Chains A and B, each alone.
Chain A
Amino acid sequence: MSRRAWVRLDNASNMFLAARSEIDPKVFRVGAEMDHEVDPQLLQEALEAIYDRYRLYHAVLRRGVFWYYLQDSDLRPRVTADELPPCAPIYQADRRTLLFRVTYHERRINLEVFHALSDGTGALWFLADLLTVYVRLRYPDRDRSLGQGADAAAPRSDADRALADPPPPDDVAEPVHELTTDSFAYYFLRRRRRRRRRHRPDPWETRAAFSSEAPPTPLAVEDSVRGPTAAARVHRVRGTRTPDSRTRVVELTMPASQVLDLARAEEVALTMYLTGVFFESVRRSSGGLGSARTLAASVPVNLRQFFPSTSARNFFATTRVEHTYGEGPDDLGAVCRQLERDFRSAATPESLERKLRRFIRFERMPALRVVPRPLKDVILGLVNRSSNRGLSVAVSNLGRVSLPEPAAAHVRRLLFQVSAVRPQFCAISHAGLLTVSFTSPYLETDHVREFARILTAAGVDVTVAAARVTEQELAEAESAKVER
């Protein structure tokens, strides 16, 4: 008899489950805009071709008495038209459904993932694989020119010649992403055993320990190192909820080089430059910060850069950066440089590891482990809510992505969005184009306007794309359709 494989969730994922709500279902989207209209049939074929390599993506989420867990399933994914609002809820308790969806709309291919399953980096691997196979299917004659078929069609253009590069090896020999790979456990267990030989190795505890310790979510729990006094002064962005609680998305696309030049001029990295601009735009659009003069952002750090891992599951830690206006230089450059200093000191392997270990001690408390799951959800939800009070915004940067050929040549830009409980931006760049997607539970886009204006004033060419959210905006689209 074949039993279904299962694996417990790490703590980040548990936090996502406790923190999810109607306005923030903890879903993120990574997508690609192609240079042609997407063929859903071929996309489906590509999805089926890669699906078996990603055991993790077969998983459904189930509820145990004390914890949630992921369990393998026989479900198969279907590519669908993009008919739901961006980052619409995926996980529904009691329904055994896959924890991701692949959709298409005109030129766009979207992968939406429930955050308990995977993080941005993990999902990006899946997307890169999907795009590679899809483009091969879409342009089969060019594939043959790669030497895989007998009929070697001569490349017809520069683009074709660009395609003639052999595919990188990882494209085919991608490691199978097993359901059980848990990098937290992997890194934690080895060190822990070495340090504490006397401790009886209880397989459950050891497996549980670090995995449960996964750091708080980039959107949710924050480290309260700075204490309640800091939290009390933190400015929180408020606004009008969208009519049906969908996520408000506004994308800004710009040449990456122009923004990089600006960041270099201030001697900071891109993420902190954008964060600095974000702070400034929130300040400008707030109409006066009042007494809450501190702006704080949560910034996730991909742990794979410090602890090599091929796990597609959550493997990140969050750091928090803040700036208090009115206490020293507040010009953009100074703010960015201060954020950069703070971020650099927080995002070292040592300090991240310290932080993770602190969580472990908390998590290992037997009293907490035996609390029934529904109660845990309430407790974690409260923890999450209290830490939310110390945050104004969140930022997340997946960085520069180089897709394997032949996919790279057919992808115009990559996109990245996260459902958000507070204004947030997610950045990703590909082929020289940086897309910064703002998501928010509120209708207001004033901070995005200020963000765009700061950049355009500095000479950056910005293009805006937005999803319609209000009744009025949707009606406007209807009338535009009728006119045509």
Chain B
Amino acid sequence: MRRCADCDVDVEGTWDLCPLCEAPVTRTSGAGEPTANPWPDVPLRYSRRRLLRALLLTSIGVTLATFAVQLLITPGIPGLGVLRSVWLGVAALWLVVLMAVRKRRNLAKSTVYFVLLVGLVSVYWDYLLGWSGWSVTYVVPILCGSSILALVLIVRVMRIEVGEHVVYSGLTVLLGLTPLVFLLLGWVTTPLPSALCGALSLAALGMLQLTEVRHELAKRLHV
């Protein structure tokens, strides 16, 4: 055991300086052998979380700003169309990657985010290019339909617990019904994709375990 004469205390462990007053300790009992330190010496660790968070927020901000800037560009300038499509594609891809990384622990949840994100970007893109309806005619129905199919497979293959995915599966199915709305409002140029997606969603709706959905919602929405 070591001893700090100034503080009049015994010091456990291998301290050469008193942890209280930083005066040199003297070696007393046991031929000056220090006792084992009851605390492990844990090396310093610096968390990069704050840096990563700042980078994430900045990149989301920049991406959204570039989306907004697109509004200022009038279509029809020769040579700009390709550049613009490439830029929109890169920005959308970056958002998808960020989302997929952040939500990687819950595939059902990331599917919902994916559908929403890509759906909204494509509708916006369509609008920027002068609205010909390709997004609601093709992109959204195909996106929703394939997401439902993908979820059905993922849930089976990965054996995800019902409670874990049922809310997000339900949301995906609900999103899958939106093409039917487009169809009814007459926003689509070709009815087939929307009709197929709608039929698929209705079938999936029948497969949903509604009691489970209710249980999960009661849990997640308790006030």
Contacts and interface: CB of A to CB of B under 8 A. Distances in A.
A463 interface: yes
A107 B38 contact: yes
A71 B215 CA distance: 13
A64 B217 CA distance: 9
B44 interface: yes
A467 B222 contact: no
B216 to A, nearest CB: 9
B9 A456 contact: yes
Contact of A453 (B8, B43, B46, B105): B8
A204 B40 contact: no
Interface of chain A, main secondary structure: mixed
Given A3-B215, A464-B10, A449 B20 contact: yes
Nearest to A470: B44
Contacts of A65: 220-221
A101 interface: no
Contacts of B41: 468, 474, 477-478
A449 B38 CA distance: 19
Interface of B: 1, 4, 7-21, 34, 36-47, 50, 105, 161-163, 212, 215, 219-223
Given A95-B105, A244-B46, A464 B11 contact: yes
Given A33-B38, A85-B42, A476-B16, A64 B10 contact: no
Contact of A466 (B15, B44, B219): B15
Interface of chain B, main secondary structure: loop
A453 B39 contact: no
Nearest to A478: B41
- Most chain B CB neighbours (cut-off 10 Å) among A8, A245, A466: A466
Interface of A: 1, 3-4, 6, 8, 22, 33, 64-67, 69, 71, 81-86, 94-96, 105-108, 204, 208, 243-246, 249-252, 369-370, 445, 448-449, 452-453, 456-457, 461-468, 471, 473-474, 476-478, 480-481
A463 B10 contact: yes
- Most chain A CB neighbours (cut-off 10 Å) among B14, B38, B47: B38
B10 A476 contact: no
A467 B37 CA distance: 8
Contacts of B18: 464
A8 B222 contact: yes
B14 A480 contact: yes
Nearest to A369: B223
Given A105-B39, A106-B36, A467-B42, A462 B9 contact: yes
A4 B45 contact: no
B98 to A, nearest CB: 14
Contacts of B40: 81-83, 105, 467
Contacts of B1: 463
Nearest to B216: A3
A379 to B, nearest CB: 15
B146 to A, nearest CB: 26
A243 B45 CA distance: 9
A250 B8 contact: no
Contacts of B46: 244
Nearest to B218: A204
B221 to A, nearest CB: 5
Contacts of B21: 449
